[in-house]
Amino acid sequence: MPPLEIEKKFLVRASALPSLGSGTRMAQGYLASTATSVLRVRRSGDRAWLTLKGPPRGDVRDEFEFAIDAAHAQTLLQEWCHEGVLGKVRHRLQHAGWHWEVDVFDAPNQGLIVAEIETTSLEELSRAVAQRPAWVGREVSDDPRLTNAALARRPLQCWPETERLALLAELA
């Protein structure tokens, strides 16, 4: 059986968010992406990965991740990711025994903050979501505009003003 990603994604209410600290800076781009699968390159400092994600089946999808040389990743990000590269700082927060990942996006997605909860089973995912922290807002797991691949292709800054402002209002 292939490795699985079991997760949900949410908007974050910035005003209720605790202090985040420095976090981990990441750059990621997409070598290929469709409505059902992606091939991503990610670099964080001197570490880098290629990740292949299969079609979602509800909150579950196949995910294969391979460590690669950071210099190779930088070349891929600069020369192969033609639809854009997004930057973000990832923070890990503990809540009720669960590790939440909070991504604070750089320009041109500045202002966007999302949280993901990833578990090893659907039962754990259900429990973690039921006990989610107050700073976790609306679930956006199924919003195609807010996948990282979509944000690389069409950043928040390029959205129509009314659509962008409505989303940013949810983050206040």
Provide the annotated active-site residues: 30
Q: Which residues of 37-60 are buried (b: 16+ CB within 10 A; e: fewer)?
A: ebebbbbbeeebbbbbbbebeebe
Specify the DSSP element, H or E, that contains 150.
helix 148-153
> DSSP string spanning 22-75?
S-EEEEEEEEEE-SS-EEEEEEETTEEEEEEE---BTTEEEEEEEEE-HHHHHH
Q: DSSP assignment, residue 163?
A: H
Cβ-contact 108, 78 below 8 angstroms: no
